[in-house]
Amino acid sequence: MPPSSFPTRQLYYDGKLWPASSGKTFESIDPSNATPLAEIQVAAHADIDAAIAAADRAFSSWSQTPPIARARILQKAVALLRERNDEIARVETLDSGKAFTETSTVDVVTGADTLEYYANLVGGGGLNGETTQLREDAWVYTKKAPLGVCAAIGAWNYPIQIALWKSAPCLAAGNTLVYKPSEFTPLHAQTLAEIYREAGLPAGVFNVVYGAGDVGAYLTAHPTIAKVSFTGQVTTGMKVAGSAAGNMKYVTMELGGKSPLIILPDAELDNAVDGAMMANFYSTGQVCTNGTRVFVPASMKAAFEQRLLEKMQYIRPGPLFDDATNFGPLSSAIHAEKVASYIRHGIETDKATLLFGGLGKPSVPKELEAGFWVRPTVFTNCTDDMKIVKEEIFGPVMSILSYETVEEAVERANTTELGLAAGVFTKNLNLAHRIIDQLQAGITWINTWGESPADMAVGGWKNSGVGVENGRRGIEAWVKNKSTLVDTNGAIATVFAKL
């Protein structure tokens, strides 16, 4: 394979590509075989200033474009995304290492769905305010105003989906955007910019800069930026929120988790095992909402583990464009090392029981052996104080924790500083609702795991985030409120009248 299969990526702002002035580049790597895919130009401060200035110039006209006219442009982009689904999914697979069976059915699809959702919402009056009659001759009316130039910073696990989950409500609400994808998965950004342009989005409304944390830090601290929407690790999110606080910027923080999945004694065994596997091994475990702490009743543990071991055989690493492959490599060498170090810690220091997997690579064809593969791994007999149970690993590592009573399971499930997702498997729906009500997490599931449709607002509690994405509530993160009290009485109720 040639050193790079894609043309060098330049920055995109003011409706066109621009060479970065830094003179620096980085490489995007195919995680399945460790070969370079493309050179990406790194934005210098002057380039980021230029992208922000383009977004600033575009704001007054875009924000005043009627919502229905904005919606029509975004709908065209939805159609283009769907038309080009497999082509975009192919790039996502090469860039992120996710199997094509996933990227072609989930990544582009769920991104386009969200764009369609927000185009429909604002086109149908979703940005209208409220009117309240205070008394016969006085009213309050409210207006939802766009915020201005916004910044979006993405993680590497769902590249185009994250770009769309942020840009869809942002642009629909009348804001303009400067987007920085993760330096590990940057390739989708130019395609999305081209699609928006082809759909008729005016120059400067959607802009792209590339680089690592320093580029993100400059962007988020910039005084012209009105809002930062961030997806990434808790520790990075804390830095970004801290920097945004300097200018009272609005923030949305979509951060990490260590989510509990509670199986009740009456749960259907196969469903519980399938749910736990989807919650740990889908996307090679690189899903923020993964249910990595699997609470199993002590009475059910042996049966659960036996069925799980049978089904672990259905995890199929392999060539990413093979229809049978349902498990890819991790997204980068550095991340694969991090996940392996957690597996090592689980074995050597935490001394959890290794039920399946462990260190080393799964068996893959010879041409993929240099890729960033790790083995799907299950630890059992875990305890709450183990590092592998407490910290987000963000890889295919399940921890099984047994419990005696439901009250105990709920209390232990909540003993964490994170609160992204949680779920319960049971036939007793009354009990399921009671348990869900007690779980401290923003995204919860009953008898299922992981589905996150456009109309479901999702966001973390505790250190897992601030605000939500998607759903009706998601648009509120991209507007500010103005309340106006109008009095038609004609006389001012003054206290400064003559006695």
Please give the positions annotated as active site.
254
**Cβ proximity to ligand NAD, 228 vs 267, nearer residue:** 228
**Cβ proximity to ligand NAD, 175 vs 182, nearer residue:** 182
Report the amino acid identity of residue 167: S
CB of 335 to ligand NAD, least distance (A): 7
Closest C-alpha among 269, 262, 265 to residue 293 = 262
Which residues, other chains included, contact 447 with Cβ-Cβ below 8 Å and sequence gap of 6+?
Answer: 271, 275, 424, 425, 426, 432
Answer whether 44's CB lies under 8 Å from 21's CB. yes
Residue 177 to residue 100: CA distance in whole angstroms:
29
Cross-strand pairs, 444: 422
CB of 450 to ligand NAD, least distance (A): 12
**Cβ proximity to ligand NAD, 5 vs 233, nearer residue:** 233
Binding site for ligand NAD (CB under 6 A): 153-157, 180, 182-183, 212-213, 216-217, 220, 231-233, 236, 239-240, 254-257, 288, 392, 394, 420, 460, 465
Closest C-alpha among 71, 480, 20, 483 to residue 211 = 20
Element (H, E) at 354: strand 353-356
Compute CA 40 distance to the chain's CA centroid, rounded to the nearest angstrom. 22
Element (H, E) at 72: helix 67-83
Convert 199-225 to b/e letters by CB count within 10 Å (16 or more is b). Answer: bebbebbbbbbbbeeebbbbbbbbeeb
Taking CA 258 as the corner, what is the angle to CA 256 and CA 264, rounded to the nearest 5 degrees? 145
CB of 271 to ligand NAD, least distance (A): 25
Residue 33 to residue 94: CA distance in whole angstroms:
10
Strands 176-180 and 149-153: parallel
What is the dihedral angle through the alpha carbons of 6, 7, 13, 18, rounded to the nearest 10 degrees? 160
Structure tokens at 362: 């799964």
Closest C-alpha among 88, 8, 14 to residue 42 = 8
Q: Phi and psi at residue 124, in whole multiples of 5°?
A: -100, 20
**Cβ proximity to ligand NAD, 253 vs 273, nearer residue:** 253
Answer whether 10's CB lies under 8 Å from 199's CB. no
**Cβ proximity to ligand NAD, 255 vs 262, nearer residue:** 255
Structure tokens at 371: 């890729």
Answer whether 445's CB lies under 8 Å from 458's CB. no
**Cβ proximity to ligand NAD, 114 vs 236, nearer residue:** 236
Residue 137 to residue 197: CA distance in whole angstroms:
48
Answer whether 460's CB lies under 8 Å from 441's CB. yes
Structure tokens at 288: 């923020």
Residue 314 to residue 324: CA distance in whole angstroms:
10
CB of 188 to ligand NAD, least distance (A): 13
CB of 290 to ligand NAD, least distance (A): 8
CB of 329 to ligand NAD, least distance (A): 15
Structure tokens at 340: 């392996």
**Which residue minimizes CB distance to ligand NAD?**
216
Q: How many CB atoms lie within 10 A of CB 109?
A: 16
**Cβ proximity to ligand NAD, 204 vs 257, nearer residue:** 257
**Cβ proximity to ligand NAD, 167 vs 220, nearer residue:** 220
CB of 108 to ligand NAD, least distance (A): 16
CB of 156 to ligand NAD, least distance (A): 5
CB of 392 to ligand NAD, least distance (A): 5
**Cβ proximity to ligand NAD, 88 vs 155, nearer residue:** 155
